[in-house]
A and B are shown apart, each in its own frame.
Chain A
């Protein structure tokens, strides 16, 4: 008797990218999405810079930022970009366990960033609604923090998917890892710009 094995959607995607010589456009699509996402941040940065240039603070408002913690945060994120890159290289050379270790380090660096950001939030002498600059600061860093949170989730998911045996992310199916990596580098790049605009300028 002939039975036809049902082809699930994931299998179909994988097969078509392997056998049919279909190019995989998913990274291209993600890149376009990240350009769009970057434009959201561009709007926020433009708003903040205009506020700074045009709107003086109302009297009696406090807006002062410390540099120590955010500098540590910048270092944490930059290092995490490097570790993510190592994870990708490890998987490319078929060392899934090494890749998993690097992914875990990356995710922990992401969590450390979030924790450090929390500490900064609670130690600042102003709140969300205190004044215009404070509102912008919390809204934009919070929006970036949301991106880091999502990215950390992605890393944990990819970490689970590179497990041996049975993980679907492997040398032949790098896309989930590559996508998370591209996204993570993007989030880091945004942080560097944010750091310069909010803390250094």
Chain B
């Protein structure tokens, strides 16, 4: 006799998937496994990219080129930029936390396209390994992460082509992820859950995914044309053959400016999740947060040429892009004040997650202020391609995104593993990172204003002391990973058991066991309409605020 299994039972799928540790090395379709695969894989690449950054800072500790040959230095800075952007921040803030959290937030059991999801992840390790291995085989690309022609056409071709291939793979992975997030957030919501009731991270991921889908393909097309120039000797971007290098810059920045928002918008979302939980207050200004995200998405697509003010940009274009870029400060400022207002008067527990989030707010404001300054043509023409830009950029992506990644790891580690991280080590990690980061990058503003160009191995000896200061900061940042690594590994083995909801949080991922079961909830997914209903009348009772009960205060 044959019994056909009712489709609600996922028994067969479960038995095919390996269990335990092995599933993290398998083509798993579980969004939680894929999320952690992204996170760990990204962190390994972060260590590689960090080692490369260390090599750059050692070279720059003295004004002469003494630590490595100049062409190796070029390869190192190119690999550092590419790895940190395409293999660490983009996959982790989008892929890792997005995959882990979004299905919980929309009340689903998995992403809309689980198989596509797994494919998107498994494109990343080969692309990363290919990129890094090119250094040992042919020498890797030397033209920086921007790969501007004619530099990228005239440097050795093999490394540049491998760079293009791996960026195309990573771009493909990113697009597949973006499609999946859009479908999951818009289509897979639990019945009864409205868009304006979603946790803020969903909105951030929706905006980010729209940017990914609209802008990444343009980079892909551009790199295909660039590879034609390198391999087939066409002249798209080669002025000698009648081509136009400025067109490359336009197309490249049409992706790569939104790429900054692809790196930082999800971080905005994650901070908006973390702060209310640890301040026991609703997120301030939910609706304005949503509109700000969407405004940043819209404006983010029309500001790219502010990277090109010194590329012979005509005056009307400079005017337009200066104004558009300055406008972005408005929604970003709204978000900043909303976070401060969320903290204001809250019962803040100053644990590692909150410290890193607050560190993010401070660093991001500094990076944002220099960003507005850089949008102004007269100022930008003065500091273009100097260390001022390097400092600004790292305040956004390290002080912004990476601080949030650490904050999120401290916040969600109990969810991932069912164990707590050591708080003292976490605070030590924060202070080391915060001091090291600011010591490393704050002096670079001064260097840039005084005219030290970026991407150089040798510089005027008058800058020696400040560069050494920066290198000491980099050393502190390198050391700061050690307590973090120890904490992560030690806590998996013998950390304090956390229980299901150690933060007493209300967002849906905490309303299940830690770590969660394969299908996220044993019963039906809960309907959470007030994900931020903290501390209004009494200490929130998890049962009160779920199942459509609106006793929490309105977040509007």
How many chain A residues have a CB neighbour from B under 8 Å? 46
Asked whether A5 lies within 8 Å of B244 as measured between CB atoms, the reply is no
Distance, CA A29 to CA B183, complexed state (A):
6
Asked whether A39 lies within 8 Å of B215 as measured between CB atoms, the reply is yes
Asked whether B7 lies within 8 Å of A132 as measured between CB atoms, the reply is no
Which residues of B have CB within 8 Å of A2?
Answer: 1, 3
Distance, CA A126 to CA B38, complexed state (A):
47
Any B CB within 8 A of the CB of A47? yes
Within 8 A of B (CB), among A1-18: 1-7, 12, 15-16
Which residues of A have CB within 8 Å of B218?
Answer: 39-40, 42-43
Distance, CA A131 to CA B5, complexed state (A):
64
Within 8 A of B (CB), among A22-67: 23, 25-26, 28-29, 32-33, 35-44, 46-47, 50-51, 54-55, 57-58, 61
Any A CB within 8 A of the CB of B236? yes
Tell me which of A3, A25, A32, A51 contacts B2 (CB under 8 A).
A3
- Chain B nearest CB from A28 CB (Å) reads 6
- Sorted from nearest, which 6 A-B pairs have the closest CB atoms? A43-B218, A135-B234, A40-B217, A39-B217, A40-B221, A43-B221
Binds A, one of B247-255, B259-267, B328-336, B496-504: B247-255
What is the chain A residue whose CB lies nearest that of B2?
A5
Asked whether B217 lies within 8 Å of A32 as measured between CB atoms, the reply is no
Which residues of B have CB within 8 Å of A7?
Answer: 5, 12
Q: Which A residues lie at the B interface, using CB under 8 A?
A: 1-7, 12, 15-16, 19-20, 23, 25-26, 28-29, 32-33, 35-44, 46-47, 50-51, 54-55, 57-58, 61, 128-129, 131-132, 135-136, 139, 143
Chain B interface mostly helix, strand, loop or mixed? helix
Which residues of B have CB within 8 Å of A25?
Answer: 112-113, 183, 187-188
23 A-B residue contacts at CB 8 Å?
A3-B3, A5-B3, A12-B13, A19-B6, A25-B187, A29-B180, A29-B183, A32-B213, A36-B175, A36-B216, A40-B221, A46-B250, A47-B222, A50-B250, A51-B236, A61-B242, A128-B234, A129-B233, A129-B234, A132-B243, A135-B236, A139-B224, A139-B236
Known: A3-B1, A128-B232. A47 touches B247 (CB 8 A): yes
Which residues of B have CB within 8 Å of A42?
Answer: 218
Any A CB within 8 A of the CB of B537? no
Asked whether A1 lies within 8 Å of B1 as measured between CB atoms, the reply is yes
- Chain B nearest CB from A175 CB (Å) reads 13
Asked whether B116 lies within 8 Å of A29 as measured between CB atoms, the reply is yes
Known: A2-B3, A3-B2. A55 touches B234 (CB 8 A): no
Asked whether B1 lies within 8 Å of A6 as measured between CB atoms, the reply is no
What is the chain B residue whose CB lies nearest that of A30?
B179
Asked whether B221 lies within 8 Å of A44 as measured between CB atoms, the reply is yes
Tell me which of A1, A19, A38, A43 contacts B254 (CB under 8 A).
A43
Asked whether B225 lies within 8 Å of A4 as measured between CB atoms, the reply is no
Tell me which of A50, A54, A139 contacts B234 (CB under 8 A).
A139
Tell me which of A29, A47, A132 contacts B251 (CB under 8 A).
A47
Any A CB within 8 A of the CB of B4? yes
What is the chain A residue whose CB lies nearest that of B6?
A19
Known: A3-B3, A28-B183, A40-B218; 17 extra A-B contacts, CB below 8 A, are A5-B2, A5-B3, A7-B5, A16-B7, A19-B6, A28-B187, A29-B179, A29-B183, A32-B183, A35-B213, A35-B214, A38-B217, A39-B218, A47-B247, A50-B250, A51-B247, A131-B235
What is the chain B residue whose CB lies nearest that of A6?
B12
How many chain B residues have a CB neighbour from A under 8 Å? 48
Which residues of A have CB within 8 Å of B182?
Answer: 32
Any A CB within 8 A of the CB of B228? yes
What is the chain A residue whose CB lies nearest that of B12?
A7
Asked whether A39 lies within 8 Å of B214 as measured between CB atoms, the reply is yes
Q: Which B residues lie at the A interface, using CB under 8 A?
A: 1-8, 12-13, 112-113, 116, 175, 178-180, 182-183, 186-188, 213-218, 220-222, 224-225, 228, 232-236, 241-244, 246-247, 250-251, 254
Asked whether B7 lies within 8 Å of A20 as measured between CB atoms, the reply is yes
Distance, CA A32 to CA B112, complexed state (A):
13
What is the chain B residue whose CB lies nearest that of A57?
B242
Which residues of A have CB within 8 Å of B246?
Answer: 54
Known: A37-B217, A51-B244. A32 touches B179 (CB 8 A): yes
Distance, CA A29 to CA B117, complexed state (A):
12
Which residues of A have CB within 8 Å of B4?
Answer: 5
Asked whether B225 lies within 8 Å of A47 as measured between CB atoms, the reply is yes
- Chain A nearest CB from B393 CB (Å) reads 24
- Chain A nearest CB from B555 CB (Å) reads 29
Distance, CA A194 to CA B60, complexed state (A):
50
Distance, CA A60 to CA B215, complexed state (A):
37
What is the chain A residue whose CB lies nearest that of B186?
A28
Distance, CA A41 to CA B222, complexed state (A):
10
Distance, CA A24 to CA B4, complexed state (A):
22
Asked whether B175 lies within 8 Å of A132 as measured between CB atoms, the reply is no
Which residues of B have CB within 8 Å of A43?
Answer: 217-218, 221-222, 251, 254
Which residues of A have CB within 8 Å of B175?
Answer: 33, 36
**Which of A2, A5, A20, A25 neighbours the largest number of chain B CB atoms within 10 Å of its CB?**
A25
Which residues of A have CB within 8 Å of B247?
Answer: 47, 50-51, 54
Distance, CA A42 to CA B301, complexed state (A):
14
Distance, CA A39 to CA B251, complexed state (A):
11
What is the chain B residue whose CB lies nearest that of A14?
B7
- Chain B nearest CB from A6 CB (Å) reads 7
Which residues of B have CB within 8 Å of A23?
Answer: 187
Distance, CA A163 to CA B234, complexed state (A):
45
Which residues of B have CB within 8 Å of A40?
Answer: 217-218, 220-221
Asked whether A29 lies within 8 Å of B112 as measured between CB atoms, the reply is yes
Asked whether A135 lies within 8 Å of B214 as measured between CB atoms, the reply is no
What is the chain B residue whose CB lies nearest that of A131?
B242
Asked whether B236 lies within 8 Å of A36 as measured between CB atoms, the reply is no
Distance, CA A23 to CA B186, complexed state (A):
12
Asked whether A29 lies within 8 Å of B113 as measured between CB atoms, the reply is yes
What is the chain B residue whose CB lies nearest that of A8?
B12
- Chain A nearest CB from B213 CB (Å) reads 5
Distance, CA A37 to CA B214, complexed state (A):
9
- Chain A nearest CB from B256 CB (Å) reads 13
Which residues of B have CB within 8 Å of A37?
Answer: 217
Asked whether B12 lies within 8 Å of A132 as measured between CB atoms, the reply is no
- Chain B nearest CB from A17 CB (Å) reads 9
- Chain B nearest CB from A109 CB (Å) reads 27
